[in-house]
Amino acid sequence: MANPKEPLLDEIQWKAPPLAMSMGGITTNTVLPYFYESPFFDATSNNATITTQATHNPALFYLIQTREAFEGRLRTMQGLEFAVAHDPSDKGTKVENSGVWVIRKQNRRKRPGQEDEIIPLNSYYVVGENIYMASSLGNILGARLLTMVSSLSKAIETAAALPSFTPALGHTYLPPAPKTGNSAVNMQMSQTSKESTPMPGTQESTSTKPPSQLLLDQDLQSTQLIRSSLNLSLRYGSEYMDDNPLVGEPGSFIITKSREVPPPASQQKPRPAPIATRAPTPQVKTDIPEPKRKPSMGAEKSPTTPSTKEKKARRKSRPATSVTTPE
């Protein structure tokens, strides 16, 4: 069991300059023996078995002289092994190269009548005299997620102290932005006497604020206005008036007809432009009725009507008195 105090293998860098100098530098034939001395090497691998056999058996000593012979012997075995996956010198043919070697830890399985099955386990980089272990994809994603979560936690802690509540504006994250005015108004406000000092809670003069702060305040005020408009739309957006309103008295309501939908603009006929006319001149009434006059004595009598004749006919005549004459 690994010691928990020891650092992880993908977080360390190993190098041994004296050993590299004793081997004559890192070459295609010395890169694997140099890797065997690092903490990344596994002593139970086939590489360690072949090296031990070749060291104590002179007949197998040629296996550790060249990398081609060593890897040829590894291909005949199965199990855990370390092989060179990338050779910048192209097996010693390139004198000038990048000096970056890639060694792969893999597991080889033999299959009768088929090619060997190779399962990669880890990768290592030999850069000059330094050896690094390549991190796995899970470790990289875990580190990135941890960085994101840490940043979000700090942002939440910072934003938790920002909200403030006022009856006029509700919950806000920044103080309200005062209304901006022109420079003449600000100068006049700054030169007012102490008697005209505003009461507590009124807006302060913005003449002392820089232009950048004034623009920021305007943006905040616009954002608050948009938010309040959206809240009103979400709250009262589903309410609407009836297209056919009710008229009448309680108990005898009548549903009115819906208004006629005007035809589309393409079907409407153009109306002639109204002709400007002068207002009519008010007329003065000049026909004054003449006063009634009493008929004069010599005037013509009005014709008699049948009703007046009947009235005259109904009058009783007086009895006539007899007149006697003397004989």
Q: Decide: 30 and 16 in contact? Cβ < 8 Å.
A: no
The contacts of residue 113 (CB under 8 Å, 6+ apart) are none
**96-100, 223-227, 232-236, range with the lowest pLDDT:** 96-100
Name which residue leads in pLDDT, 325 or 48.
Answer: 48
> DSSP string covering 17-50, please?
HHHHHHTTSS-TTTHHHHHHTSTT--TTSHHHHH
Average pLDDT over residues 259-278: 59
Measured between alpha carbons, how far is 88 from 122 in angstroms, rounded to an integer? 19
Tell me which H or E stretch contains 127. Answer: strand 117-127
Tell me how many degrees the CA angle 250-256-261 measures, rounded to the nearest 5. 155
Name which residue leads in pLDDT, 186 or 223.
Answer: 223
Name which residue leads in pLDDT, 254 or 321.
Answer: 254
The pair of three-digit structure tokens given for residue 7, joined into one six-digit string: 């650092």
pLDDT tens-digit series, residues 278-317: 656 666 566 666 666 655 555 455 555 555 555 555 555 5
Helix (H, G, I), strand (E, B) or coil at 300: coil
Say whether pLDDT at 60 is over 50.
Answer: yes
Q: What is the dihedral of CA 16, 21, 22, 27, to 10 degrees?
A: 100
The pair of three-digit structure tokens given for residue 207, joined into one six-digit string: 């003449």
| Mean of per-residue pLDDT scores for the chain | 75
Tell me how many degrees the CA angle 243-249-254 measures, rounded to the nearest 5. 40
Measured between alpha carbons, how far is 28 from 91 in angstroms, rounded to an integer? 6
Chain-centroid distance of CA 198 in Å reads 40
Per-residue confidence (pLDDT) for residue 46, from 0 to 100: 92
Average pLDDT over residues 246-251: 75
Band (pLDDT 50/70/90 cuts) for residue 206 is very low
Name which residue leads in pLDDT, 58 or 203.
Answer: 58
Measured between alpha carbons, how far is 189 from 305 in angstroms, rounded to an integer? 99
**Radius of gyration from C-alpha coordinates of the chain:** 59
Tell me which H or E stretch contains 145. Answer: helix 137-160
Q: Decide: 65 and 83 in contact? Cβ < 8 Å.
A: no
Per-residue confidence (pLDDT) for residue 16, from 0 to 100: 92
Say whether pLDDT at 104 is over 90.
Answer: yes
Query: Dihedrals φ, ψ of 234, to 5°?
Result: -70, -30
User: Terminus-to-terminus CA distance in the chain, angstroms?
Assistant: 197
pLDDT tens-digit series, residues 108-157: 999 888 888 999 999 999 998 899 999 888 888 998 999 999 999 998 88
Average pLDDT over residues 20-41: 90
Average pLDDT over residues 82-96: 80
Strands 117-127 and 130-133: antiparallel
The contacts of residue 111 (CB under 8 Å, 6+ apart) are 117
Name which residue leads in pLDDT, 181 or 6.
Answer: 6
pTM of the entire predicted model: 0.45
Per-residue confidence (pLDDT) for residue 250, from 0 to 100: 76
Average pLDDT over residues 255-280: 61
Tokens 């979400």 sit at which residue? 234
Say whether pLDDT at 97 is over 90.
Answer: no
> DSSP string covering 194-231, please?
GGGPPPTTSPPP-TTS-HHHHHHHHHHHHHHHHHHHHH
Angle, helices 46-56 vs 67-74, to 10°: value is: 120
Name which residue leads in pLDDT, 161 or 242.
Answer: 161
Measured between alpha carbons, how far is 142 from 140 in angstroms, rounded to an integer? 5
Q: Decide: 40 and 50 in contact? Cβ < 8 Å.
A: no
Band (pLDDT 50/70/90 cuts) for residue 25 is confident
Tokens 């360390």 sit at which residue? 12
| Percentage, residues of the chain above pLDDT 90 | 22
Band (pLDDT 50/70/90 cuts) for residue 105 is very high
Tokens 């807006």 sit at which residue? 203
Average pLDDT over residues 48-55: 91
